Amino acid sequence: MAATPITTSDRYYVQGVSKVIWVPTLANPASPTRSEINAGTDLSDEIAAVNGWEVTGNTEDTPALGSVFIGKVPSTTTADDSSLSFYADSTSTDVRTLLSRGSSGYVIWMDEGDVADYLMDVFPVRVTSATPQRDISSVAQIMVNFAIMREPSQNVAIPA
């Protein structure tokens, strides 16, 4: 008898679906309320590029004198520094007014959109820089870099 296959996914293209929300404060990052999310700012329409936003599990080697094979065990979890690039405004009225260096808060990722009971990830962050990207052959952008301060809350149900 063959193993049961995994459920086939309903694949989608992230552009136009995913939502990224900035929320300055949350009472419980593991369970944001709808009113806290609604009080935030939807950044999605101004994001030009994304880098990072991944949680990585690390491992440690477990050598044993009686074997030439070196096994591994799970150890720490990390999230590398991450960034969002936004379109700049010709009058300086852009993301820099919201996300200046030193700002602390939460970046909420709703990969499949803002739909009740779908899953979201909540990253507690501090802005480390908000810098114009100077390239004479591109549309003007501001790169906002974030330090992820504590362990993100992952796979949290989006409230109704």
Overall average pLDDT of the 134-142 stretch: 94
Domains contained in the chain, number: 1
9 domain residue, yes or no: no
| pTM, to two decimals | 0.92
Strand duo 153-157 + 119-133: pairing = antiparallel
147 domain residue, yes or no: yes
117 domain residue, yes or no: yes
65 domain residue, yes or no: no
69 domain residue, yes or no: no
12 domain residue, yes or no: no
Pick from 52, 55, 144: nearest CA to 102 = 144
8 domain residue, yes or no: no
Residue 113 pLDDT: 98
CA 39 – CA 35 distance, rounded (Å): 6
Pick from 153, 82, 146: nearest CA to 119 = 153
Residue 97 pLDDT: 96
Residue 42 pLDDT: 98
CA 48 – CA 14 distance, rounded (Å): 13
Say if residues 60 and 73 touch (Cβ distance below 8 Å).
Answer: yes
| CATH (domain of 110) | 2.30.110
List the structure tokens of 157: 């149900």
80 domain residue, yes or no: yes
List the domain range (segments joined by +) for residue 78: 19-55+74-157
Indicate if the pLDDT at residue 1 is higher than 90.
no
Query: Over the stretch 40-96, which tens digit does the pLDDT of each residue have?
Result: 999 999 999 999 999 999 999 999 999 999 999 999 999 989 999 999 999 999 999
Overall average pLDDT of the 88-108 stretch: 97
